[in-house]
Structures are given as C-alpha cells and as structure tokens.
Amino acid sequence: MRTITLASPAPEEPMAEPNDRTTKRLLLCGAIAGPLFVVTFLVQGAVRAHYDTLRHPVSSLALGGHGWVQAANFVVAGLLTIAFAVGLRRALKNAFWGPALVGLWGLSLVGAGVFTTDPVSGYPPGTPDLLSQHSGLSAELHDLFSLPGFIAIAAACVVFAVRFARTREAGWAVYSAVSGAAFVTAMVLATIAFAQNPALVAYGGLFQRIAVAVGWAWLALLAVRLVRRSPA
C-alpha cells in the first residue's frame, strides 16, 4: 500500500488571547496614526504661506508661525505608533524584532516633534538653502532621532516580509518587501534633493512624501489586518 503524504498547512501566527480588548485597541492605534499624520501635514502644507510641498520637507512645517501644529503631529503619531508596537508584541507572541523596530519608528517621531529641525531649501523665507552645520542642539537632536527611525521602518518591512514568507502569505511578503524598497529609494532621493542637488532639489518634498506615504500605508494596513484576525 502506498502512503499518501499531505502537504503541511502554513503555520499560523500566534495571536492574542480571546477577548483581549486591550490588544485590539493598541492595534487600532496603528491604523489611526498614519492617516492622521499624513492628513495633518498635507493640510498644513496646503495653507502655509511660502511653503512648497514639492520642495520642502515635512519637518519644516514645525518652523515659523503655527509650527507647534506639526510638532504636535509628530508627537501624537509617535505615541500612537509606540502603542501599536506594544499591540504587535502582544498579538504576535513569538515576535520581537518587528514590534521593536516599529516602536523605534514611533520613538523617532516623538523626538522629531520635541526637537525642531534646521531650515532647508529656502523655507522659512529668508533662510539659506543649506546650512554648513547644525544651528544648535535642537536641530542636531532632530536629525539624531530621525535617521534611526527611517532605518527602523524600512527594516520592519523586511522583517515582516520574511515572517510572511515563512507563513506562506506571498502577497503580504511581496507587499512588505516592495514597501521597504520603495521607502528607501524615495528617502535616498529626498536626501539628495535636500542636499541641494540641482536636478532634484525642486522635488525633495515630493520624494519625502512618497516615502512617508508608503511607510505609513504599510503600517496602517498591517494594523488593520491584525485587528481583523484578532479573536477579540
């Protein structure tokens, strides 16, 4: 008699305990953070005088009049993201690096809100296109918080791409990998533009917004997916 061997099903992700409403609320923070952050900076960019959304970075909205709005936007989005990272850790019980990297992204946003950046690309009006060095401790700390955060969100995409590949969820694996690659590519172009590269400087803000939108979209959709799968 021949023995028939059936293919083993894809391993399921360990989820939170049934009726864990706290975990579900924490995951919902991840679905809210990105859309709230993006809508807030888009509205500010549209109404701010002398501000060019194609040219200027999101962080520059924290400069000048009403700059506190963008500073608060950073902090609120960061706190929501940290809460989401806690929810990730609770929902995916054997995961560490994914939630840790998402938490680092959230922490970097809080730091970017607390510490104000330097002017770049001529905003606010009357400022130089590029300073040769940081104007002070606040601007230095802003960059010190921001760079690890950009690396963290890209790395989180890779970590979850591997995780989804292991659970044989090809669509999510590919989407996560492509999101990470797109985020890095757009951020590199934005960085070159903000360094006043003549060919790209006029589109630095656009490249950065593409990166930010890609990263936040991935994070929000991941949150929605986990909320829908949660037994709660």
pLDDT at position 18 is 41
5 CB-contact burial (10 Å; exposed 0-12 / middle 13-18 / buried 19+): exposed
Length of the chain as a residue count:
232
Residue 126 DSSP SS3: coil
For the chain (length 232 residues), average pLDDT per consecutive 10? 42 52 94 97 95 97 94 98 96 91 98 96 94 94 96 98 95 98 98 97 98 98 90 52
Reference 84, options 61, 103, 110; nearest CA is 103
CB distance 87 to 79 below 8 Å:
no
**Concatenated DSSP letters of 13-73:** PP-PPTT-HHHHHHHHHHHHHHHHHHHHHHHHHHHSTT--TTTS-GGGGGSSTTHHHHHHH
pLDDT of residue 26: 96
CA angle 62, 125, 206 (to 5 degrees): 60
Rounded to two decimals, the pTM is: 0.90
Phi, psi of 2 (to 5 degrees): -85, 140
Backbone angles phi, psi at 43, to 5 degrees: -65, -45
Secondary structure class of 133 (helix, strand, coil): coil
